[in-house]
């Protein structure tokens, strides 16, 4: 037990922070040594009653000096984008591996931050050093990584099924790829606003941030496509958690459903958290809620080559906390599944 890596979580009062703490508390190789937020000190179990009986830790006001005294080997940031951007350089000086769940270090092009995130990026030099952590595609790069940019929830649901198809060149990019994605309300964060409280969300379904959602450049970057080749529309579902992405594309001539399944089977043969639906059943949110899985399936019109891909994740787990832990496990040389079985 004394050889376990000490970890701290900043942003511990949010939904993703809560899920991350819950996972870390049962991790065989990692000790949760500190929890921090922007608020006043309070017991974690008081902030999150779900943790009652599981931890005696207090959540403390964020302080870099206090974090340094803990001497962590691992720091998770479930904090706002600009805050993460500001504190990451100093936290790297502790020698810890930093895993940022915000969007502060996901984009390689610093010039995109004012438009999509509303601030000038102060450390563009670190953008090239950060590993964009979809673990299924960067396992070797993650080993001993110092700064890991945890992917966004929508991009995870889209990039996991599409990257193998793009890599092998079976997608006809003359036709735009259309990503129609729907998320539960926890994706909007814990702070309430006029568009996410119960009365506004219940018994409704709406699109939002069309052509300006901050995950758009992240998806384009991950697919290696020009911006005009992607149409991404996010929607808000009247449910607590989960994402379903329906992706429309055309395959190159001679390619069909068999080729998609074959590429997925090869790409994810050793990936414990990607499940390929090979039959007629397509993924659904209820299959992945409260799990670390990304489920993917497809249907293809073999005559026209038009394909519809369906993927599902839990936005708080594979879209945030469990993916962050998966990245941490690989960075530190642990079993990829540790803490999530």
pLDDT digits (tens, 9 = 90+) for 128-182: 999 999 999 999 999 999 999 999 999 999 999 999 999 999 999 999 999 999 9
Q: Which CATH number fits domain 5-150+320-332: 3.20.20.70, 3.30.465.10, 3.40.50.800, 3.40.50.720?
A: 3.40.50.720
Same fold? 5-150+320-332, 154-313: no
| Catalytic, out of 59, 85, 153, 294 | 153
Domain boundaries, the chain: 5-150+320-332, 154-313
Answer yes or no: 59 catalytic: no
Residue 195: pLDDT band (50, 70, 90) is confident
Q: Do the beta carbons of residue 165 and residue 260 sit within 8 Å?
A: yes
Q: Computed from CA positions of residues 34, 37, 41, 44, in that sequence, does the dihedral angle turn out positive or negative?
A: negative
CATH number of 154-313: 3.30.360.10
> Which tens digit of pLDDT belongs to each residue from 40-99?
999 999 999 999 999 999 999 999 999 999 999 999 999 999 999 999 999 999 999 999
Tell me how crowded residue 82 is: count the other CB atoms within 10 A of its CB.
18
Give the model's confidence band at 2: pLDDT under 50 very low, under 70 low, under 90 confident, else very high. low
Give, for 159, the enclosing helix (H) or strand (E): helix 153-167
Cα 76 from Cα 322, distance rounded (Å) = 12
Question: Which stretches within 49-123 are classed as H helix?
Answer: 64-70, 81-92, 113-117
Q: pLDDT at residue 192 above 80? A: no
Q: Which pTM was predicted?
A: 0.95
């Amino acid at each position: 037990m004394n050889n376990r890596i000490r970890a701290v979580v900043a942003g511990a009062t949010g939904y993703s922070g809560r899920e991350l703490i819950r996972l870390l508390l049962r991790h065989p190789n990692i000790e949760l040594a500190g929890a921090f937020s922007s608020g006043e000190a309070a017991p974690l179990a008081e902030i999150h009653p779900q943790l009652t009986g599981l931890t005696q830790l207090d959540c403390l006001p964020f302080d870099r000096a206090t974090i340094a005294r803990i001497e962590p080997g691992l720091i998770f940031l479930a904090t706002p984008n600009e805050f993460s951007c500001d504190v990451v350089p100093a936290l790297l000086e502790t020698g810890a591996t930093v895993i940022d769940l915000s969007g502060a270090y996901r984009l390689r092009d610093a010039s995109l931050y004012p438009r999509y995130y509303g601030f000038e990026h102060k450390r563009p030099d670190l953008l090239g050093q950060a590993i964009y952590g979809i673990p299924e595609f960067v396992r070797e790069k993650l080993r001993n990584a110092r700064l890991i940019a945890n992917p966004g929830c929508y991009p995870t649901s889209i990039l996991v099924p599409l990257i193998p198809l793009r890599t092998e060149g079976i997608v006809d990019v003359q036709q735009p790829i259309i990503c129609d994605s729907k998320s539960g309300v926890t994706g909007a964060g814990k702070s309430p606003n006029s568009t996410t409280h119960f009365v506004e969300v219940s018994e409704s379904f709406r699109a939002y941030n069309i052509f300006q959602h901050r995950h758009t450049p992240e998806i384009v970057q991950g697919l290696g496509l020009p911006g005009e080749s992607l149409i991404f529309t996010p929607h808000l579902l009247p449910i607590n958690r989960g994402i379903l992405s329906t992706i429309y594309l055309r395959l190159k001539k001679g390619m069909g459903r068999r080729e998609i399944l074959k590429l997925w089977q090869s790409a994810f043969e050793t990936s414990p958290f990607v499940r390929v639906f090979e039959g007629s059943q397509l993924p659904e949110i209820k299959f992945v809620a409260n799990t670390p899985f990304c489920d993917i399936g497809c249907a293809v019109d073999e005559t026209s080559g038009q394909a519809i891909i369906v993927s599902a994740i839990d936005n708080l787990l594979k879209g945030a906390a469990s993916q962050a832990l998966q990245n941490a496990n690989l960075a530190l040389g642990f079993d990829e599944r540790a803490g999530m079985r």
